Amino acid sequence: MLLAMELESEVELAGHHVTATAMSRSQAREAVSIERPEFAFVDIQLQDGPTGIDVGRDLADEGIPFVFVSGNIKKIPNDFVGALGAIEKPYTVAGMKSAIAYISGVIEGRSDLPLPASLVLAEDVEIIRGGYRVS
């Protein structure tokens, strides 16, 4: 879980508190029930399989905003199951930093921030997938 650990250090470097890291869907549920996070980073491929999508659904049900972190954005369902967007792997330190800064801003209610290249928003997914936008 080296990747999770390094992500944790990036999030903390940006001045945030990490409530928990989880390696499976059940661990994620438990972690959320112990301390409710303000935001979550969800890898799609977890120890119990590609259950990140389900974790995303659980978070959406709880009303907790999140982004997917994935090596293959095309695997995410079209509606993004309620995610704000996705950070594509392998991300760079700078890319993750700017994504975290953008996400922090969005959670604080700012809408004037420029979108970093490292973050693909759910509403832009149609552009990425098929070269057109539905809405």
Binding-site ranges for other proteins (CB under 8 A):
2-3, 5-6, 9, 45, 71-73, 88-95, 97-98, 116-118, 128
User: What does residue 120 show for φ and ψ, rounded to 5 degrees?
Assistant: -105, 120
* Pick 63 or 90: Cβ nearer other proteins: 90
Least Cβ distance, residue 100 to other proteins (angstroms): 12
Cβ-based neighbours of 75, under 8 Å, separated by 6 or more? 44, 50
Least Cβ distance, residue 9 to other proteins (angstroms): 7
* Pick 36 or 129: Cβ nearer other proteins: 129
* Whether 83 contacts 77, CB under 8 Å: no
